[in-house]
Structure 1
């Protein structure tokens, strides 16, 4: 069935610019009241920014972390909401970021609108929060990452978007989860020198797609090293492929030689994204990790639930 409530902008169209802001909540009573009041006013603040350029596709999506959910909402917990797990493979580890209580995914086709929204947001929040991470992303050519490949090709389209992203049924008897979405973020930095030392054919075998025209390559033989594309293809117990919505963005500053990708996914079921990461870092079969991790290192990892717009509005 379709969601009977208004969702946040989890399924907003891809934008030219974005800010990914992770905040830690101060647990004093005054801070909690300030945060609740601010979150309940997010829709109004977003409208005030968006009206400055109605064609800019401005939006802000708010996610609440596992540790902060009970403190800020006093609502039943979404069934799958839990802290981001540390995933340790033989070679690489997906880290979990402490204190990542709130996510603000701020998007627009103009960088100045993202900046102004964040400025006004932080004035309202004041000392009730502290910044855990702040990353500014940009759209790179034809939706490519800094490794040179088109990113997000496997995203659902059309009616499959809502079906893949939004909770549509009561979550263990709680209607507060309807219209919400699970969100996972990771900030990766790339070893571009090492990556660019590979031939195009080697890069393509790691990704599972051609670099120039983004054509999907055949899967590896059973038991062989799987590509990034194959490891991120997830099926449920009856063989139905499960999708997530990615809105990844490159970030970086050539002067400081920092180059990276900010991974962000929205999904109706958290286990789908978690299984993707398990297959990447541990390998499938175990020991054959995703070779993209030899050139991409995660600096952060956090999980959130993005409640419906009504849940946010009612927090105040």
Structure 2
């Protein structure tokens, strides 16, 4: 295989920093059987995910197929490992203000499949589910797509503040603080459904005030004048030492116009779960309390689950 072919080989599993793609499938399942055989099947499938990615990805190297596997806290305990990622926990419901709630929903495994070709994403999902068989139940299956110039269905550019390079690693990947799981990441997923009719009834200026950016050219707006905080500001986390903490987002729009279903699939990778938890509490409860993220008047969270994404070495080691 020549150098050019190697450079275009499928992305290795558990590549949190894989490039943003044009297509994605977000698959969340639970292991329904209580017996050891079911757990062993799940463990074998996820530890060999690299083989499935390569089998499908080599059909078109330009498809840039990849897959990140996330494992929930309950299933991790059933894997009977000698230790546990220090921050791994279930997603806890956040009762918010204004009748808005960040719900908690089941999930043992997350497969974040992404690439440039939806058919390759589809084929990988099909093979994964065939291997898992009747040991799992699908909780949620969402096909995402890149929408024009990385916009969400509300019309705004999404993911502008994603860290890059070394900053990405510092924000998203576990380090020496948990050496057994260094190189892994925590990921939170939420599926939001939008009321586009109500959103479209707002003026562009009103929408921009809620988001905190201009709609046409994605310029950040200043809301430090004492007015209610925007979505952008509520999601900016600064600790008591003045240090800003980022996460890595790979959000994608999804929808079925015939069913009047329009939404955004939020997926955030982080080195520290508290950062995402703090963001969501500011969004749903408000800062100050009661001044919640006004985007929630038009977007409803219908799922919420937390997973640990091991490094590829740790993932493959689950089979031993």
With normalisation by structure 2, the TM-score equals: 0.93
Give the drift of 1:158: 2.0
Q: Distance in 2 between matches of 1:101 and 1:205?
A: 38
Structure 2 partner of 1:294: 297
Q: Distance in 1 between matches of 2:202 and 2:135?
A: 47
Contact 2:13–2:50, Cα closer than 8 Å, also in 1: no
Contact 2:190–2:266, Cα closer than 8 Å, also in 1: yes
| 1:49-64 matches, cutoff 5 A | 49-64=56-71
| 1:80-99 matches, cutoff 5 A | 80-91=87-98, 92-98=100-106
SS at match of 2:219: coil
Structure 2 partner of 1:257: 260
Which of 201, 205, 221 lines up with 1:201 in the alignment?
Answer: 205
Q: Distance in 1 between matches of 2:290 and 2:181?
A: 37
Q: What is the Cα-based RMSD across aligned positions, in Å?
A: 1.2
Alignment of 1:166 onto 2:169: no
Structure 2: which 5+ residue stretches go unaligned? 1-11
Q: Distance in 2 between matches of 1:231 and 1:20?
A: 26
Give the drift of 1:66: 1.2
Which of 139, 160, 174 lines up with 1:132 in the alignment?
Answer: 139
Give the drift of 1:233: 0.3
Q: Distance in 2 between matches of 1:115 and 1:307?
A: 23
Alignment of 1:225 onto 2:228: yes
Which of 176, 180, 198 lines up with 2:184 in the alignment?
Answer: 180
| 1:115-130 matches, cutoff 5 A | 115-130=122-137
Contact 2:97–2:286, Cα closer than 8 Å, also in 1: no
Summarize deviations over 1:207-254 as a string: whole Å, max 9, x none.
0000000000002334x3100000000012211000000000000011
Summarize deviations over 1:184-223 as a string: whole Å, max 9, x none.
000000000000000000000000000000000002334x
Q: Distance in 1 between matches of 2:82 and 2:125?
A: 27
Q: Distance in 2 between matches of 1:241 and 1:73?
A: 36
Q: Distance in 2 between matches of 1:137 and 1:217?
A: 28
Which of 18, 24, 37 lines up with 1:12 in the alignment?
Answer: 18
SS at match of 2:147: coil
Q: Distance in 2 between matches of 1:274 and 1:37?
A: 31
Summarize deviations over 1:111-135 as a string: whole Å, max 9, x none.
0000000111111100111101100
Structure 2 partner of 1:275: 278
Deviant stretches of 4+, over 4 Å: none
Alignment of 1:153 onto 2:157: no
Alignment of 1:214 onto 2:222: no
Structure 2 partner of 1:3: none
Contact 1:164–1:268, Cα closer than 8 Å, also in 2: yes
Structure 1 partner of 2:3: none
Structure 1: which 5+ residue stretches go unaligned? 1-5
